[in-house]
Amino acid sequence: MTTLLILVVLVLGFMVVLRLSRVAELTSELRGLREEEIPERDNRISGRMMWAFGAIYLLWFLWLPLEYGDVFLPPPASTQGEMIDGMFTFNWWILGIVFFGTNIALFYFAGRYYHRAGRKAFWYPHNNKLELLWTVIPSVVLVAVIIYGLNVWNKITAAPVPGTMEVEVYSKQFDWTFRYPGKDGKLGAIDFRLITGENPLGIVTHKTIAARLAGLHEEVDNAKADLDARKEVLPKSKIKEKEEEIAHLNRLIERIMGLRTLMEQDIAANGENSTYLHGADDKVTKEFHLPVNTDVELVIRSQDVIHSAYLPHMRAQMNAVPGMATRMHLNTTITTDSMRTITDNPDFDYILMCNKVCGISHYNMQAPLIVESPGAFKVWNIMLPIFEKPGSSEPDTKNEAAATTSDTVKTEIAGEAEAAAGTNNQSN
C-alpha cells in the first residue's frame, strides 16, 4: 500500500516537473522575457511568499509540540535527570525568543523590501554601536547559559562519596551483563584474557586463572597434536596459520601467568584489601535492578567495540570503551511501578539501550532496568547466585563440608532476605 503510494507520488512529481518546465520555458520564450530581469510582480509575489512561509513555518513550529508532544520522554527519573530537564527549560526559553525574533525579522524584512522600480536601497554599510550591542548582548546571555550549564555538569560529574555502591554495566556485541558486589561491597578485578563461557566478564580469582590456564594448555596440546598428525597433508599457509595460533595461545598463557604473579604480589602487599580477592563473591546477572533514591556508581566496560549505555528516562549516558572503565553516577527517584502509574501504562519499563553504533544488531541491544524500593532490591540481590561459592575453590574439600557451607550460606541469605523484606515493608 505505502509502496504504491510512494510510487504514485514519485511518478506524479516527475510528470508535474516536466510539464511545468516546458510551460515555463515556452512562456518566457514567447514573451521575450530575460531570466535575469525579474519583473516587479514576481518580486512582489516572492516577497509575499516570504511572509506566508514565515508565518506558516512559525505556526507549524508552535503546533508541532501540541500535536506530537506526547513523544517526549516522561518526567526524569533521576536527580541528574531533574537537573538536566530544568536546564533544558531554561535554554528552550532563551532559544525560543531568539528563534522567533530572528526568523520574524528575517522573513518580515525579506517580504517588506522587495524590489520596486525607482526606489533605492538605504545606504547603511555599518553602525558600530549596533554591532557592539549585538555582540555584547549575546555574550552576556551566553555567560548565563555557560554558568548554569557548568554548574549542573559539575554536580552530575562530581566524584562519588566513598562507600557508594558500584554496579558494573558490561557490554559486548550485542547484549548487556551486570555485576553486583558481594558481601565485601566491592567489585573484584577482571581481565579480558580470562573470559570464557563460565566466566563471561573475566573475573580474576585463583580458580578462574587455574581453569583458564588448564583450558589453554589443553587447547595448545590439541592444536599441536593436530598439527603433528596432519603436517604432511596440510598446505604451507595452513601450517603457518596453525603455528601462529599456537604462538598466540602461548603468549596468552604467558600473560596470564604474569597476571597470576601480579595477583599474588598484590595479595601479599594488601592482604584482604587486594582487589583480586573481591571477585569471588561478585554476582553476575543478565538482569538490571537498581534501588530507588540511592546513589549508585555505574562502572561501564566493554568487551569488544565501543558501546554506549544510554538510559533516556534517567537522562543518563556514558560510553563503554574497551580497555578502560568509564563511570557514571546515578540516583534514581521513581520506581518502575510508580512510573507505570505516572505514564498510565502498565507495561512501562525503563530501558537501557546501546547508543553507539557497534555492529549489525546495534539497534536491538537493550535491557530493561527495574527500579525498586531498596528492600525489594535487596531481596532480589540476595537471591542472585554468587560467582564462586566460598570454599569450592579448595579441590580437597569434602563433599559434606561443602554441603554444610552452602547450607549456612542459604540460611544466611534467607535471614538477610527477611530482614530486607522488613525494611521494605517499613519503607512502604
Partner 1 sequence: MSAVVNPSAADSGHAHADHHQHKESFISKYIFSHDHKMISKQFLITAIVMAWIAMIMSMIFRLQIAFPGESFAFTHFFLGDKWAPNGVLSSSMYLALVTIHGTLMVFFVLTGGLSGTFSNLLIPFQIGARDMASGFINMLSFWFFLAASIMMLSSLFVESGPAAGGWTVYPPLSALPESIPGSGTGMTLWLFSMILFIAGSLMGSLNYIVTVLNLRTKGMRMTRLPLTVWALLLTAIVGVLAFPVLVSAVLLLIMDRLMGTSFYLSEIHIAGEALDNMGGSPILYQHLFWFLGHPEVYIVILPAFGISSEVISTMSRKPIFGYRAMIGSLMAISFLSFLVWGHHMFVTGMNPFLGSVFVFTTLLIAIPSAVKVFNYIATLWRGNIIFSPAMLFSIGMVSTFIAGGLTGIIVANSALDIQVHDTYFVVAHFHMVMGVSAIFAMMAGVYHWFPRMYGRMMNTKLGYIHFWVTLVSAYGVFIPMHYVGLAGGPRRYYDYTEFPMFQGHFVDLNVMITLFAILGGVVQIVFTYNFFHSIWRGQKAPQNPWHSNTLEWTAPVEHLHGNWPGPLPTVYRWPYDYSKPGKLEDYVPQTVPLEEGEEDH
- Restricted to residues 87-106, the positions that interact with partner 1 (CB under 8 A) are 87-88, 91, 94-95, 98-99, 102-103, 105-106
Cα gap 112→106, rounded to integer Å: 10
**206 CB-contact burial (10 Å; exposed 0-12 / middle 13-18 / buried 19+):** middle
> Any idea what DSSP says for residue 197?
S
Helix (H, G, I), strand (E, B) or coil at 173: coil
Distances in whole angstroms, Cα of residue 52 to Cα of each of 58, 110, 410? 10, 11, 75
Q: List beta partners, residue 370.
A: 289
Q: Minimum distance from CB of 232 to partner 1 (Å)?
A: 28
Asked if 362 touches Cu ion (CB under 5 A), the answer is yes
309 binds Cu ion, rule: CB under 5 A: no
Which residues, in sequence order, are bridge partners of residue 353? 310, 366
Q: Which does 236 bind (CB under 5 to 8 A by kind): partner 1, Cu ion, none?
A: none
Q: Which does 252 bind (CB under 5 to 8 A by kind): Cu ion, partner 1, none?
A: partner 1
The residue within the footprint of Cu ion, chosen from 358, 369, 382, 386 (CB under 5 A), is 358
Max CA distance (Å), the chain: 108
Q: Which stretch binds Cu ion (CB under 5 A): 48-56, 261-269, 278-286, 364-372?
A: 364-372
Residue 318 contact partner, candidates Cu ion, partner 1, none, CB within 5 to 8 A by sort of partner? partner 1
By CB under 8 A, residue 116 contacts partner 1: yes
Which of 310, 377, 380, 387 contacts partner 1 by CB under 8 A?
A: 310
What is the number of other CB atoms lying within 10 angstroms of the CB of residue 239?
13
**268 makes contact with partner 1 (CB under 8 A):** no
Total number of residues binding partner 1 (CB under 8 A)?
128
Distances (CA, A) of 30 to 26, 27, 154: 6, 5, 69
User: Of these, 34, 41, 129, 236, which contacts partner 1 (CB under 8 A)?
Assistant: 34
Does 366 help bind Cu ion (rule: CB under 5 A)?
A: no
User: What is the footprint of partner 1 within residues 367-386 (CB under 8 A)?
Assistant: none
15 binds partner 1 (CB under 8 A): no
- Of 20 and 403, the one with the shorter C-beta distance to partner 1 is 20
Cβ neighbours of residue 16 closer than 8 Å, sequence gap 6 or more: none
Cell of 215: 583450558
Is 320 one of the binding residues for Cu ion (CB under 5 A)?
Answer: no
Q: Which of 413, 324, 334 is nearest to 369 (CA)?
A: 334
Span near Cu ion by CB under 5 A; candidates 134-142, 273-281, 301-309, 339-347: 301-309
Tell the smallest beta-carbon distance from residue 322 to Cu ion (Å). Answer: 13
Q: Cell numbers at residue 242, please?
A: 596453525
Tell which positions 167-226 bind partner 1, by CB under 8 A.
172-173, 192-193, 195, 202
Residues from 221 through 260 that contact partner 1 (CB under 8 A): 248, 251-252
- For residue 106, the minimal CB distance to partner 1 (Å) is 5
Nearest-10 Cα torsion for 258, 264, 266, 267: 160
Beta-bridged to residue 297, according to DSSP, are: 166, 329
- 274 lies in the binding site for partner 1 (CB under 8 A): no
Segment contacting partner 1 by CB under 8 A, of 153-161, 178-186, 272-280, 420-428: 153-161
- Footprint of partner 1 on residues 53-72 (CB under 8 A)? 53, 57, 60-61, 64, 67-68, 70-72
Among 7, 59, 62, 214, binds partner 1 (CB under 8 A): 7
**All three cell numbers of 89:** 527549560
State the Cα angle at 30 between 29 and 34, rounded to 5°: 45
Burial class (CB in 10 A: 0-12, 13-18, 19+), 366: middle
Which of partner 1, Cu ion, none has residue 38 at its interface (CB below 5 to 8 Å by kind)?
partner 1
**What residues numbered 122-151 form the site for partner 1, per CB under 8 A?**
122-127, 130-131, 134-135, 138-139, 142, 145-146, 149-150
Q: Which three cell numbers stand for residue 175?
A: 547484549
CA neighbor of 318 nearest in space, from 295, 334, 302, 335: 302
213 interface partner picked from Cu ion, partner 1, none, CB below 5 to 8 A per type:
none
- Alpha-carbon distance of 74 to 348, in angstroms, equals 11
- State in angstroms the smallest separation of the CB of 135 from Cu ion: 22
DSSP state of 345: -
Residue with cell 604451507: 236
Q: Which residues bind Cu ion (CB under 5 A)?
A: 307, 354, 358, 362, 365
